[in-house]
A and B are shown apart, each in its own frame.
Chain A
Amino acid sequence: MRAPTGTTWREYLTAATPTSRRHATVQRVYLAWVPFSRNPTAIVGLVIVALVVAVAMFAPWLASHSPIAQDLSYRLAPSTAAHWLGTDELGRDIYSRLVWGTRTVLRVIFLVAVITGPIGLIVGAAAGYVGGWWDAALMRITDIFLAFPRLILALALTSALGPGIDNAIIAIGLTGWPPLARLARAETLTIRSSDFIAAARVVGASASRIVFRHVMPLCMPSLIVRLTLDMAGVILIAAGLGFLGLGAQPPQPEWGAMIASGRKFVFDQWWIAAYPGIAICILSLGFNLFGDGLRDALDPKAST
């Protein structure tokens, strides 16, 4: 994409009179980007998340060994030139397993977001806008899910579905939407009584058009922020399920499962559990900082 001839990018992005629908959208994104880019912690978060995505994309080239190749003559080794972060109890290279593990963790995060985001948004916005009987029914279902601690519910679901990373994703997804639905409903309740919704009704817009085109876009910023901040928790739950043997199954490299296998040696070969722990910590921190920055940039009340 190029700026139209005769103008610089800066003029294009800050022009007072947008000339097309796309121009208006691009300006909107730029307007959110400016405060975000001036927030150093947000940039740190973005860089961490971007780096992890890059590592996952280029894992075959970044990894020094196969993540599942065993070398039983070279078990539990400390870091050396050949094995940068040492080897685990089966002689597998920990660095390579960490690199390949980014794919597992990002897959979990992406699929959980894809499951929880839409369910939470649709349930919350529908309950909030339609109200009455629908609202009561949908919110009681939400309450039932919220009544259980999240990890316990995910545990129960994975043990019912059977261990495995896909079942863990489904379990985390199904336990993750109720807080989002609550949030979307609260946002919808304030939006539905506003004049611009009444105006949409007066020009004849249907309820579904109002919910999807008018209410949901306004719920999106807070929902995206909440979802990003939730990702740190999702990483921890996925790692927890892996740790308990209900998530990723061996020999698939997964950070939680790596900690679990390292705990037997934690006093003598501490690095086996420590490196995946540090990785989880950094990525969770990255998502938290990124989410905080998004909240400041997207807050509709702060910028008008």
Chain B
Amino acid sequence: MTEAAIAVNELSVRFGLATAVDNVSFSVASGESFGLVGESGSGKTTVLRVLAGLIGHWTGRAQVGGHALGAKRPKALARVVQLVFQDPYASLHPLHTVDRVLSEVATIHGLANAQKRIVGTLQAVGLGPEFRFRFPHQLSGGQRQRVAIARALILEPSILLLDEPTSALDVSVQAEILNLLRRLRAERGLTLLLVSHNLAVVANLCDRVAVMRLGRLVEQADVERLRTSTPEHAYTRQLLAASRGYDRAAAEIEEQASPA
């Protein structure tokens, strides 16, 4: 196995009295595509935000692209790991044009050839030059998410964190964005860490899956194994059943999974 791109050891995060993430450990190999699934409130997004440096108070050890994470986030880390947010309607500044969003990143990091890079990155995410000077309100949801992906990619990070990148989009656009991410991963050799509540999306994009519930990691498995055999943990079985659409059987598995 190559050196781990992401290694998380005994990570715990508390918000007041509530424990959002409880003693979670996992690692993602370089170039691997790893999925983190679970229901709302399972702590999966919190793990992602810790890795992106958005949450400061956590315990345990975490290492991203060879950098150990501390309380403060060095600027250089932004060039190694980037995050794409869930809601493209909220993650773009309403008064900044696409051009401004991208050129600001270039300015912060003093990138050479900023103009060329902006055009090139827009092209890589499937946006032509006509989108460059538009404001977010002049873009559709899928186009906005492409801009958000472009913002993450202009720094050419090796690791991309994805926080439910498709859940705010309608179904046909979801497929487009997933195809885009798969292509970008192949072209750039990206390591992906995808968070989703949708097992189908994860199975589409990822090699390996970890299942989280109530802040704990309950199971890790290869996607292939999920497809072919029955998962060990009852909760994973339930998620799998739920991804095939609602039926009574899924609700019955829930009764077995919940101890109370």
Contact with A along B18-58 (1 / 0, CB 8 A): 00000000000000000000000000000000001110000
> Interface residues of B, CB < 8 Å — how many?
36
Contact partner, A202, options B78, B95, B104, Cβ 8 Å: B78
Residue contact B151 to A203, C-beta cutoff 8 Å:
yes
The yes or no answer to A78 lying at the interface (CB within 8 A) is: no
Residue contact B90 to A194, C-beta cutoff 8 Å:
yes
Contact partner, B97, options A24, A204, A213, Cβ 8 Å: A24
The yes or no answer to A21 lying at the interface (CB within 8 A) is: yes
Taking CB atoms, residues of chain B closer than 8 Å to A196 are 90-94
Pick out which of these stretches binds chain A: B80-88, B180-188, B205-213, B217-225.
B80-88
The yes or no answer to B155 lying at the interface (CB within 8 A) is: yes
Contact with A along B136-170 (1 / 0, CB 8 A): 01100000000010011001000000000000000
Q: Which residue of B lies closest to A194 (CB)?
A: B90
Taking CB atoms, residues of chain B closer than 8 Å to A194 are 90
The yes or no answer to A209 lying at the interface (CB within 8 A) is: yes
The yes or no answer to B252 lying at the interface (CB within 8 A) is: no
Whether A205 touches B104, Cβ cut-off 8 Å, given contacts A16-B138, A194-B90, is: yes
Q: Which residue of A lies closest to B85 (CB)?
A: A195
The yes or no answer to A20 lying at the interface (CB within 8 A) is: yes
Taking CB atoms, residues of chain B closer than 8 Å to A24 are 97, 99, 133-135
The yes or no answer to A244 lying at the interface (CB within 8 A) is: no
Q: Which residue of B lies closest to A196 (CB)?
A: B93
Contact with B along A1-27 (1 / 0, CB 8 A): 000000000000000111111011000
Taking CB atoms, residues of chain B closer than 8 Å to A218 are 93-95
The yes or no answer to A149 lying at the interface (CB within 8 A) is: no
Taking CB atoms, residues of chain B closer than 8 Å to A300 are 94
Closest CB-CB distance, B206 to chain A, in whole Å? 22
Closest CB-CB distance, A287 to chain B, in whole Å? 25
Contact with B along A199-212 (1 / 0, CB 8 A): 11111111001000
Taking CB atoms, residues of chain A closer than 8 Å to B54 are 198, 201-202
Taking CB atoms, residues of chain A closer than 8 Å to B135 are 24, 28
Residue contact B151 to A204, C-beta cutoff 8 Å:
no
Closest CB-CB distance, A281 to chain B, in whole Å? 37
Whether A304 touches B94, Cβ cut-off 8 Å, given contacts A195-B87, A203-B78, is: yes
The yes or no answer to A217 lying at the interface (CB within 8 A) is: yes
A21 to B77, CA, bound (A): 30
The yes or no answer to A75 lying at the interface (CB within 8 A) is: no
The yes or no answer to A214 lying at the interface (CB within 8 A) is: yes
Contact partner, A199, options B91, B94, B109, Cβ 8 Å: B91
Taking CB atoms, residues of chain B closer than 8 Å to A205 are 104, 108
Taking CB atoms, residues of chain A closer than 8 Å to B133 are 17-21, 23-24
Taking CB atoms, residues of chain B closer than 8 Å to A18 are 97, 133-134
Taking CB atoms, residues of chain B closer than 8 Å to A203 are 78, 82, 104-105, 108, 151-152, 155
Whether A17 touches B104, Cβ cut-off 8 Å, given contacts A203-B155, A204-B75, A304-B137, is: no
> Interface residues of A, CB < 8 Å — how many?
28
A206 to B78, CA, bound (A): 12
Contact residues, A38-95 vs B (CB, 8 A): none
Contact partner, B90, options A23, A195, A206, Cβ 8 Å: A195
A303 to B67, CA, bound (A): 43
Contact with B along A180-199 (1 / 0, CB 8 A): 00000000000000111011
Residue contact A21 to B97, C-beta cutoff 8 Å:
yes
Taking CB atoms, residues of chain B closer than 8 Å to A209 are 108
Residue contact A214 to B85, C-beta cutoff 8 Å:
no
A202 to B50, CA, bound (A): 11
The yes or no answer to B130 lying at the interface (CB within 8 A) is: yes
A214 to B152, CA, bound (A): 18
Residue contact B108 to A199, C-beta cutoff 8 Å:
no
Residue contact A202 to B130, C-beta cutoff 8 Å:
no
Q: Which residue of A lies closest to B100 (CB)?
A: A21
Q: Which residue of B lies closest to A22 (CB)?
A: B133
A207 to B90, CA, bound (A): 20
Whether A201 touches B53, Cβ cut-off 8 Å, given contacts A18-B134, A195-B85, A196-B92, is: yes
Contact with A along B96-119 (1 / 0, CB 8 A): 110110001100110000000000
Residue contact A202 to B90, C-beta cutoff 8 Å:
no
Contact residues, A204-262 vs B (CB, 8 A): 204-206, 209, 213-214, 217-218
Interface residues of A (CB under 8 A from B): 16-21, 23-24, 28, 194-196, 198-206, 209, 213-214, 217-218, 300, 304
Closest CB pairs A-B (n = 5): A204-B78, A18-B133, A195-B91, A195-B90, A17-B130
Additional A-B contact list (17), CB under 8 Å, known A17-B130, A203-B105, A304-B94: A23-B133, A24-B133, A24-B135, A195-B90, A196-B93, A198-B85, A198-B91, A199-B83, A200-B104, A202-B52, A202-B54, A202-B82, A203-B78, A203-B152, A204-B108, A204-B109, A300-B94
* Residue contacts A-B, CB under 8 angstroms, 22 given: A16-B138, A18-B134, A19-B133, A21-B99, A24-B97, A196-B93, A198-B91, A199-B85, A199-B91, A200-B93, A201-B53, A202-B52, A202-B53, A202-B83, A203-B105, A203-B152, A204-B78, A205-B108, A214-B96, A217-B95, A218-B93, A304-B137
